[in-house]
A and B are shown apart, each in its own frame.
Chain A
Amino acid sequence: MTQLEITRPSARRQSNKRHKSCPLSHPSAPKVDYKDVKLLQRYTTERGKIVPRRISAVSAKKQRELATAIKRARHLALMPFVVS
């Protein structure tokens, strides 16, 4: 029991730090599409890496969509694999 009481507040702390909602899950949010390079570039680093969703606050579902879209855009040379 005592262990439970210790762990619970820590869980709260993480949640109350900042509650960012997914920027791609709103009804008015743009559709994730491999052709929309401008949108995809917002979710890649300057190096061309896909930004982890703990930083971008994207929902898991949309992150999966983003990842496939970015990979398709890379295949068509719309986005770089690496910016060296």
Chain B
Amino acid sequence: MVVFLPLAGGSAIGSLCPTGHSMIQKGDDMRLYECVFIIRQDLSSAQVDSITAEFCAIITDHKGAVKKQEYWGLKTMAYKIKKNRKGHYVMLNFEADGAAVAELDRRLGLNEDVLRALITSIDAIDPEPSIMMKNTRERAGNDAPAPDDDAPAPATDEVDEVDAPVDDIDDEVEVEAVEVASETPETPETTENPDSEDNHDPA
């Protein structure tokens, strides 16, 4: 785009928009995307692989390229989706144009084995494995974090009592802030200045 501006010269305003659009369509139609989808829990990992391959094929058929593929494993979901408590999480990082993404999105919605899907555009593909893969590795090593995941769920019955005050705390903080604000006017300005300096130092 920048190259065209000096060439356009005097009639720049008229020719700006069309050239700009054509440049975007020619140069930038391939973008990087990240797709995460959840597959029903009762499918085997081989079936998950075949479904993943199916979606990879959609991308490659539209002249896209799958740059990275991750299987996060059978994870416990935060809430039930279509009566499933768990799901196979798969992430794809790929480069494709809008048509490929539209088709992928359509097929993800049609496939009944896919519980959820999220396609986001990203600026760059991180060559390292994502945080999810790090977590699964730690779990494989320790075998301990698994109960950690289950712990919050059974505790929820008791948490109800704890939760009510939690919501109140938000209000209390507000009240405190107001009170402090109303108290401080009595303090002279001389104390205010050192306070502000003290606060700046740790920051």
Question: Does B199 sit within 8 A of A, measured CB to CB?
Answer: yes
Given A76-B36, A76-B38, A12 contacting B192 (CB threshold 8 A): yes
Can you name the residue of chain B whose Cβ is closest to the Cβ of A78?
B78
Can you name the residue of chain B whose Cβ is closest to the Cβ of A20?
B203
What is the count of residue pairs linking A and B with beta-carbon distances less than 8 angstroms?
83
Can you name the residue of chain A whose Cβ is closest to the Cβ of B183?
A13
User: How far in angstroms is the closest Cβ of chain B from A46?
Assistant: 5
Question: Does A84 sit within 8 A of B, measured CB to CB?
Answer: yes
Given A13-B184, A52-B170, A83-B163, A35 contacting B132 (CB threshold 8 A): yes
Interface size class of A (residues with CB under 8 A): 20 to 34
Cβ–Cβ < 8 Å partners of B170 in chain A: 45, 52, 55
Interchain residue pairs with CB less than 8 A apart (24): A9-B185, A10-B181, A12-B192, A16-B195, A17-B181, A19-B196, A19-B199, A19-B203, A35-B131, A35-B132, A38-B131, A46-B159, A47-B167, A54-B177, A55-B170, A72-B118, A76-B38, A77-B78, A77-B81, A78-B77, A78-B78, A80-B78, A83-B156, A84-B156
Give me 8 other A-B pairs in contact (C-beta within 8 A), A19-B203, A45-B167, A54-B177 excluded.
A9-B192, A19-B199, A33-B131, A35-B130, A47-B166, A76-B116, A80-B78, A83-B163
